[in-house]
């Protein structure tokens, strides 16, 4: 085959041998999504074939040559009812089937391991609970449900892993979640699918699915020496959170131990479940979320902590189960030279690229 | 028996009528200050064709860039501007006004037996607004373009890009008013100006379809206008409605934007469906199968389309309950389209079918719209939407509906009514070839994109992983063919203005009132107000008319 360009030839051969209609099925949900997709393709093909066959045969049978005079037909209620009810029924099946899959994709199991992902122009940053963090890649163990808590620092992004058939919008100002359980080890595409500006198409990465042992090994090798919660603790200290949230009798803020997941009464009436979103909002927009018995004196930290920082704080508060821990933090804060201020203090965490330079966004 | 229905007067004696809407007045001012709906339609036709080719050239640039996996033809910023301008021009300056402002403007008054639209000056104003909007878009293009995508997603559009968002927004705002005025005009006209005997159920289905689309224009477009004003205020003054750091909600923008932009999809497709009802009936010599079902399916689409907007947001964290409601409504809105397809198909049954160019485009429409509609169900079903949304599957889906559907219908309509608008026939053979080229080119361009989407290739990417290249090469190759398919009609239609055969009043032997008057029509459309004494698509009435004429002439 030398008469066509050998490069093109090689290219075509390579493509034909790897030709695929679907990406690999690498998660537990993928075969379920594909089953529905297959059903839909089948229904569509049958529907399309019926239309094409009807149009073609009518065109042949009733062309002007063969059928010079048209016979007027008003319509037929029976026929029309048929092609109203059958498509409607099929569409309803697709609706219910689709909704079942949707609920599965967006309802994480209770034992899922949580990884935070921050999207920003134009990179993905994943924060593992153990303090490992990575840019434009995500290492996960197979056979274990993983929940991602996603947030954007700037514009809308969208976190898409085609091989897992999952995708979730990453929105500024609110946490969204998605979960999956990888079934095949390997490296898969990670895309940003929501247009986010100049380098949108460079906001891509790899999802690396490792075996359980491989993942443990990776965790060990990538550790930064501090867990995410410990990072949060440092921030907690440097932002002097413990000055109020210290559980002392004269404390100006509520104690934060065991607050995660609790039902809190609000000063404005009503109650709220203290989830990730509530904790985040209380840090950035505190006067809107004051709990009963306290006055809205907490300053806002909007613009002072990056989303990474908020995540670290939230993770710290999530894991906080005794006031003793906070009071220890208080002692640490007392030791800090007061003149250095907040920014300098957070600089202590600065040996991690995570917090470096992003304290003020 | 010949296999065509074309019935032209004797070319050696036939003349274009001396008095007609084109010859009545001369000079540029007689066009720029006209109140005649037919002249305004021609003005629209020229302007939207101009913008179609600008949008098309941008599409060509997109396809050229995507020939290779790297962003090598242009910088990513340029690519982003190119696809944004392509979307803005094609949607707001071509698809939305395409059939209503040209064919609708020209033929709705004629079909209902009126002299003009109810508000001729408003009609002219809407063309001027369109032109102002268009010039503003051209200005933004010259002065650096805009790279928000046609969706103006916040906070990208309000805080993060440094391009002409405000001017573009203003342009869309102004063009939106043009669309509101057109819609308003149609609604008033259809309600108030029908000829004696022209009851609602004697209206041609083209009128029903445009009426439904007009309701969407009037009710939907203001929401877009408000949303764009909010984006502009947020960008210039930082009012914070969509800014989470000020307590705003960026998802609110999505709700407002899609509240217009989903019905807008039906603004674009419904008038096209109207064209198909006309052509399929004329070229099969039959009443449209189940007239009432087709008429009401247009209205049903218009009503349902207002309650499906959040299906654009299934992965944006809307609640499970809203997902259920919007997914269900999406399935329901798909049914009237299915009804239409089958009713059109059965219109062919026992007909006497001929295959002139408008009919070929109609068949193209039916095939491509069926694919476009069915793949819409893939996206309306929430579980599969997660995988397919924001990928090339979406791109392929809406191009099948908008280009495969609407543009095919537009071309069907242009060819169908060309003899009425100009008094001359287009050349048949080459136009049949153009229809074929368009169909092949279209499939080659957009079908590979379904596979790309299934494989997960995201939309709006200037660079992509190399394994997607082959399908992209197919797509670009198809776009080249498609480009030829679209250039041909412009060439031969312009040619036919001078050299086309003289068409006579009713070359297709069609039943609509617009065909029962001279071509090109008089400024007043009819010599005397017609009286409608038969159903729409009544071919027996037409036969009787012809016999009567022969009898009186003899």
**What is the full DSSP assignment across B378-420?**
HHHSHHHHHHHTTBHHHHHHHHIIIIIIIIHHHHHHHHHHHHH
Find the angle CA(A248)-CA(A253)-CA(A256) to the nearest 5 degrees: 80
Plot region of A170 (φ>0 → left; ψ -120 to 50 → alpha; else → beta): beta
* B459: CB partners within 8 A, 6+ apart: A193, A195, B390, B391, B392, B394, B395
pLDDT of residue A343: 41
pLDDT band at B402 (very low <50, low <70, confident <90, very high): very high
The answer to whether A109 contacts chain B (CB < 8 Å) is: no
Quick: pLDDT tens for A162-175: 999 999 999 998 89
- Whether the pLDDT of residue A357 is over 70: the answer is no
Q: A260-281: b or e for each residue (b if 16 or more CB lie within 10 Å)?
A: beeebeeeeeeebebebbbbbb
Is a pLDDT exceeding 90 seen at residue A76? no
Contacts of B354 in chain A (CB under 8 A): 63-64
Ramachandran class of B342: left when φ > 0, alpha when ψ lies in -120 to 50, beta otherwise: alpha
Chain B residues close to A303, C-beta within 8 Å? 245
Does residue A15 belong to the interface with chain B, where contact is any CB pair within 8 Å? yes
Tokens 């203090």 belong to: A345
DSSP secondary structure, A130-161, as one string? TS-EEESEEEEETTS-EEEEEEESSS-EEEEE
Interface mutation target, options B297, B318, B456, chain A, most CBs of A under 10 Å: B456
Nearest to B352 among A67, A174, A200 (CB): A67
Q: Which domains are present in chain A?
A: 20-223 (2.60.40.420), 228-351 (1.10.760.10)
**A257 and A328 Cβ atoms separated by less than 8 Å:** no
Interface test with A, best of B160, B252, B386 (most A CBs within 10 A): B386
Q: How far apart (Å, rounded) are the C-alpha atoms in residues A164 and A176? A: 17
**Which one of B315, B383, B459 has the shortest CB-CB distance to A36?**
B383
Average model confidence (pLDDT) across chain A: 85
Nearest to A117 by CA among A182, A29, A184, A176: A176
Q: How far is A102 from chain B (nearest CA, A)?
A: 4
Chain B closest-CA separation from residue A249 CA (Å): 33
pLDDT at residue A353, as a whole number: 41
pTM: 0.91
Which listed CATH number (3.40.50.1390, 1.20.210.10, 3.40.50.300, 3.40.50.150) goes with B28-553?
Answer: 1.20.210.10
pLDDT of residue A329: 65
Give me the pLDDT at residue B3, please: 76
The residue of A25, A65, A95, A305 whose CB has the most chain B CBs within 10 angstroms, and thus the best one to mutate to test that interface, is A95
Question: In three state form, how does the secondary structure of B77-124 look?
Answer: HHHHHHHHHHHHHHHHHHHCCHHHHHHHHHHHHHHCCCCCCCCHHHHH
Task: Work out the number of other CB atoms within 10 angstroms of the CB of residue B474.
Answer: 17
Asked whether residue A138 carries a pLDDT value surpassing 80, the answer given is yes
Cβ partners under 8 Å of residue B178, min gap 6: B97, B101, B126, B127, B128, B129, B130, B133
Q: Which residue carries 């996960």 as its tokens?
A: A140
Q: Does A199 touch chain B (CB under 8 A)?
A: yes
Assess contact for A191 and B191: CB atoms under 8 A.
no
Give percent of chain B with pLDDT exceeding 70.
99
Give the residue from chain A lying closest to B287, CA to CA.
A72
Check: CB of residue A298 under 8 Å from CB of residue A243: no
Residue of B245, B370, B540 lying closest to A51 (CB–CB): B370
Q: Average pLDDT, whole number, for chain B?
A: 93
The pLDDT of B79-85, averaged and rounded, is 95
Output the pLDDT for position A339: 37
Selected residue of B323, B342, B389 to mutate for chain A interface (largest A Cβ count, 10 A):
B342
Q: What's the confidence (pLDDT) of residue A231?
A: 87
In this prediction, residue A3 carries a pLDDT of 62
In the block, residue with structure tokens 């020496």: A225
Of the partner residues A91, A174, A194, the one whose CB lies closest to the CB of residue B334: A91
CA distances from A138 to A133, A204, A205, A314, B357 (A): 9, 11, 8, 21, 55
Q: Which residues pair with B522 in a beta bridge?
A: B525
Q: Which range (A155-169, A217-231, B134-148) has the least confidence?
A: A217-231
Instruction: Residue window 34-73, chain A: list those with CB within 8 Å of chain B.
Output: 36-37, 40, 43-44, 47-48, 51-52, 54-55, 58-59, 62-65, 67-73
CB contact under 8 A, A94 and B381: yes
Nearest neighbour of B327 by CB, restricted to A12, A21, A98: A98
Give the closest-approach CA distance of B107 to chain A in angstroms.
Answer: 25
Whether B331 and A62 lie within 8 Å, measured CB to CB: no
| Residue numbers in B near A196 (CB within 8 A) | 156
**Which of B311, B381, B537 would you mutate first to test chain A, the one with the most A CBs within 10 A?**
B381
Mutate to test the interface with A, among B387, B462, B470 (most CBs of A within 10 A): B387
Residue A11 has pLDDT above 80, yes or no: no
Give the per-residue pLDDT at A331: 58
Q: Between residues A296 and B189, which one has the greater pLDDT?
A: B189
Across the interface, whether the CB atoms of B292 and A75 are under 8 A apart is answered yes
Say yes or no to pLDDT of B14 above 90. no
Q: Please report, to the nearest 10 degrees, the dihedral formed by the alpha carbons of residues A82, A83, A85, A86 taken in order.
A: 100
CA distance A41 to chain B (A): 9
Cα(B90)–Cα(B67) distance, integer angstroms? 22
Cα A132 from Cα B71, distance rounded (Å): 32
**Are A58 and B348 in contact (CB < 8 Å)?**
yes
Which band of pLDDT confidence, cut at 50, 70 and 90, is reported for residue B254?
Answer: very high
Taking phi over 0 as left and psi of -120 to 50 as alpha, with beta for the rest, A107 belongs to beta
* Residue A163 Cα, gap to closest chain B Cα (Å): 8
**B130 Cα to chain A: minimum distance (Å):** 28
Task: Please give the backbone phi and psi of residue B531, each rounded to the nearest 5 degrees, phi first.
Answer: -115, 125
Choose among B267, B57, B263: nearest CA to B178. Answer: B267
Q: Which of B370, B377, B463 sits opposite A48 (nearest CB)?
A: B370
Whether B128 has a pLDDT exceeding 70, the answer reads yes
Nearest-by-Cβ selection for B335 from A36, A88, A103: A88
∠ CA A261-A265-A270 to the nearest 5 degrees? 110
Is residue B357's pLDDT more than 90?
A: yes
pLDDT of residue A248: 80
Mean pLDDT confidence for B276-294: 94
CB contact under 8 A, B366 and A163: no
Residue contact A106–B470, C-beta within 8 A: no
Contact at CB, A195 and B80, closer than 8 angstroms: yes
SS3 A114: strand
CB atoms within 10 A of CB B27: 8
DSSP B66: T
| CA distance, residue A173 to nearest chain B CA (Å) | 5
Give the tens place of pLDDT for each residue, B35-66: 999 999 999 999 999 999 999 999 999 999 99
Whether A361 shows a pLDDT value over 70: the answer reads: no
Nearest to B290 among A75, A162, A200 (CB): A75
Cα–Cα dist B403/B478, whole Å: 14
- Contact at CB, B383 and A99, closer than 8 angstroms: yes
The pLDDT of residue B371: 96
Cβ contact A75–B363 (<8 Å): no
Q: What pLDDT score was predicted for residue A249?
A: 80
Buried-exposed string A324-346: b where 16+ CB fall within 10 A, e elsewhere: ebbeebbeebeeeeeeeebeebb
Contact: B153, A36; criterion CB under 8 Å: no
Buried b / exposed e over B416-437, threshold 16 CB at 10 Å, is: bbbbbbbbbbbbeeebbbbbeb
Spell out which residues of chain B touch residue A360, defining contact as CB-CB under 8 Å. none
A270 pLDDT tier (thresholds 50, 70, 90): confident
Note whether A204 contacts B155, CB cutoff 8 Å. Answer: no
Cβ contacts of B161 on chain A, cutoff 8 Å? 197
At A345 the pLDDT is: 40
Residues 216-245, chain A: which have Cβ within 8 Å of B? none
Q: Which A residues 288-327 touch B at CB under 8 Å? A: 288, 302-303
Query: In the prediction, which pLDDT does B553 show?
Result: 60
Does pLDDT of A4 surpass 70?
no
Please state, as a whole number, how many other Cβ atoms lie within 10 Å of the Cβ of residue B410: 25
End-to-end CA distance of chain A: 58
For the stretch B65-77, pLDDT in tens is: 999 999 999 999 9
* Whether complex ipTM tops 0.85: yes
d(CA B115, CA B247) in angstroms, rounded, equals: 54
Residue B317 pLDDT class (50, 70, 90 cuts): confident
Residue of B nearest to A284 (CA): B245
Provide the shortest C-alpha distance from residue A326 to chain B (in Å). 28
Determine contact, residues B122/B181, Cβ cutoff 8 Å. yes
pLDDT at B539 over 80: yes
Neighbours of A121 (CB within 10 A): 18
DSSP string, B188-246: HHHHH-PPTT--GGGS-HHHHHHHHHHHHHHHHHHHHHHHHHHHHHHHHH---SS-GGG
Show residues of chain B in contact with A169, CB under 8 Å. 313, 315-317
DSSP B346-363: HHSTT--B---HHHHHHH
Which three-class secondary structure state does DSSP give residue B249? Answer: coil
d(CA A244, CA A298): 9
Among candidate residues B108, B441, B377, B154, the one with its CA nearest the CA of residue A97: B377
Least confident among A243-247, B304-308, B481-485: A243-247
- DSSP H or E stretch at residue A117: strand A113-120
Q: With b meaning 16 or more CB within 10 Å and e meaning fewer, what string describes B481-518?
A: bbbebbebbeebbeebeeebbbbbbbbbebbbbbbbbb
* Cβ neighbours around B191 below 10 Å, total: 11
Q: Which of B248, B247, B260 is nearest to B312 (CA)?
A: B260
**pLDDT at residue A336 greater than cutoff 90:** no
**Which of B315, B320, B510 has the most A C-beta neighbours within 10 Å, making it the best mutation to test the interface with A?**
B315
Q: Nearest 5°: CA angle at B279, between B278 and B280?
A: 95
Nearest Cα to Cα of residue B159 among B98, B239, B215: B239
In A, which residues are within 8 Å of B334 by CB distance? 87, 91
Residues in chain A: 361
What pLDDT is attached to residue A330?
Answer: 60
Closest CA to B129 of B58, B184, B81: B184
Residue of higher predicted confidence among B127 and B162: B127
- Give how far B380 is from chain A: nearest CA, Å: 8
Q: B129-148: string of b/e by CB count within 10 Å (b at 16+)?
A: bbbbbbebbbebbeeebbbb
DSSP H/E element including A166: strand A166-170
């Amino acid at each position: 085959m030398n008469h066509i360009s050998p490069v093109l030839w090689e290219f075509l051969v390579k493509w034909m041998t790897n030709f695929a209609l679907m990406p690999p099925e690498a998660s537990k949900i993928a075969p379920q999504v594909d089953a529905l997709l297959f059903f839909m393709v089948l229904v569509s093909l049958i529907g399309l074939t019926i239309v094409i066959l009807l149009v073609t045969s009518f065109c042949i049978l009733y062309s002007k040559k063969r059928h010079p005079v048209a016979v007027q037909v008003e319509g037929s209620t029976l026929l029309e009812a048929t092609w109203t009810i059958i498509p409607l029924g099929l569409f309803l099946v697709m609706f219910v089937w689709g909704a079942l899959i949707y609920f599965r994709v967006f309802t994480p199991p209770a034992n899922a391991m949580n990884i935070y992902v921050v999207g920003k122009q134009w990179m993905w940053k994943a924060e593992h609970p153990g303090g490992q963090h990575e840019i434009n890649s995500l290492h996960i163990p197979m056979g274990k449900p993983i929940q991602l808590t996603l947030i954007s620092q700037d514009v809308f992004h969208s976190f898409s892993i085609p091989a897992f058939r999952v995708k979730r919008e990453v929105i500024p100002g609110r946490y969204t979640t998605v979960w999956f359980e990888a079934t095949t080890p390997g490296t898969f595409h990670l895309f940003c699918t929501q247009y986010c500006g100049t380098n949108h198409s460079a906001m891509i990465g790899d999802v690396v699915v490792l075996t359980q042992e491989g993942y443990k090994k990776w965790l060990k090798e990538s550790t930064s020496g501090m867990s995410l919660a410990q990072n949060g603790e440092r921030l907690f200290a440097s932002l002097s959170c413990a000055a109020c949230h210290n559980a002392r009798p004269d404390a100006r803020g509520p104690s934060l131990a065991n607050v995660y997941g609790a039902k809190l009464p609000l000063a404005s009436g009503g109650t709220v479940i203290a989830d990730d979103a509530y904790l985040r909002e209380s840090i950035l927009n505190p006067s809107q979320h004051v709990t009963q018995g306290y006055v809205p004196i907490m300053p806002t930290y909007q613009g002072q902590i990056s989303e990474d920082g908020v995540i670290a704080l939230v993770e710290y508060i999530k894991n906080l189960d005794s006031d003793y821990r906070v009071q220890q933090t208080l002692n640490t804060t007392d030791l800090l030279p007061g003149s250095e201020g907040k920014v300098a203090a957070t600089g202590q965490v600065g040996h991690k690229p995570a917090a470096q330079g992003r304290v003020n966004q | 028996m010949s296999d065509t229905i074309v019935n032209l007067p004797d070319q050696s004696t036939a003349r274009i009528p001396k008095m007609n809407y084109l010859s009545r007045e001369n000079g540029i001012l007689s066009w720029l200050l006209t109140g005649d709906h037919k002249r305004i339609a021609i003005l629209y036709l020229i302007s939207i064709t101009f913008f179609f080719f600008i949008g098309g050239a941008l599409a060509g640039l997109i396809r050229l860039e995507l020939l290779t996996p790297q962003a090598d033809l242009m910088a990513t910023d340029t690519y982003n501007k190119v696809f944004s301008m392509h979307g803005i021009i094609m949607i707001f300056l071509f698809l939305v006004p395409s059939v209503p402002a040209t064919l609708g403007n020209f033929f709705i008054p004629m079909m209902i037996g009126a002299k003009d639209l109810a508000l001729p000056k408003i009609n002219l104003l809407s063309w001027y607004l369109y032109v102002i909007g268009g010039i503003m878009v051209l200005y933004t293009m010259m002065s650096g373009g805009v790279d928000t995508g046609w969706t103006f997603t916040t906070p990208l559009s309000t805080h993060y890009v440094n391009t002409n968002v405000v001017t573009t927004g203003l342009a869309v705002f102004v063009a939106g008013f043009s669309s509101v005025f057109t819609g308003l005009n149609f609604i008033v006209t259809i309600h108030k100006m029908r000829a004696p005997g022209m009851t609602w159920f004697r209206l041609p289905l083209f009128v029903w379809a445009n009426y439904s689309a007009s309701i969407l224009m009037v009710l939907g477009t203001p929401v877009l206008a408000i949303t764009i004003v909010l984006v502009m205020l947020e960008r210039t003054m930082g009012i914070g409605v969509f800014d989470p750091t000020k307590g705003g909600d960026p998802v609110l923008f999505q709700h407002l934007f899609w509240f217009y932009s989903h019905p807008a999809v039906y603004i674009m497709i419904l008038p096209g469906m109207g064209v198909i009802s006309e052509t399929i009936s004329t070229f099969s010599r039959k009443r449209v199968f189940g007239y009432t079902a087709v008429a009401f399916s247009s209205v049903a689409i218009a009503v349902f389309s207002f309650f499906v907007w959040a299906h654009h947001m299934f992965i944006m964290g809307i609640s499970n309950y809203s997902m259920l409601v919007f997914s269900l409504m999406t399935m329901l809105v798909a049914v009237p389209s299915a009804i239409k397809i089958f009713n059109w198909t059965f219109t062919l049954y026992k007909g006497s079918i001929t295959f002139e160019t408008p009919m070929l485009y109609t068949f193209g429409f039916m095939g491509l719209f069926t694919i476009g509609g069915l793949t819409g169900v893939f996206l309306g079903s929430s579980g599969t939407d997660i995988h397919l949304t924001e990928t090339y599957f979406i791109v392929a889906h809406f191009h099948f509906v908008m280009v495969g559907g609407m543009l095919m219908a537009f071309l069907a309509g242009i060819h169908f009514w060309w003899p009425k608008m100009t008094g001359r026939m287009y050349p048949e053979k080459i136009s049949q070839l153009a229809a074929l080229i368009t169909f092949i080119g279209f499939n080659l361009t957009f079908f590979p994109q379904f596979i790309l989407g299934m494989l997960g290739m995201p939309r709006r990417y200037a660079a992509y992983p190399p394994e997607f290249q082959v399908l992209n090469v197919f797509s670009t190759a198809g776009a080249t063919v498609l480009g030829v398919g679209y250039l041909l009609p412009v060439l031969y239609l312009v040619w036919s203005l001078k050299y086309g055969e003289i068409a006579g009043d009713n070359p297709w032997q069609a039943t609509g009132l617009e065909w029962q008057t001279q071509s090109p029509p008089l400024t007043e459309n009819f010599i005397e107000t017609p009286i409608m004494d038969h159903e729409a698509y009544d071919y027996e009435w037409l036969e009787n008319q012809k016999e009567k004429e022969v009898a009186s002439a003899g």
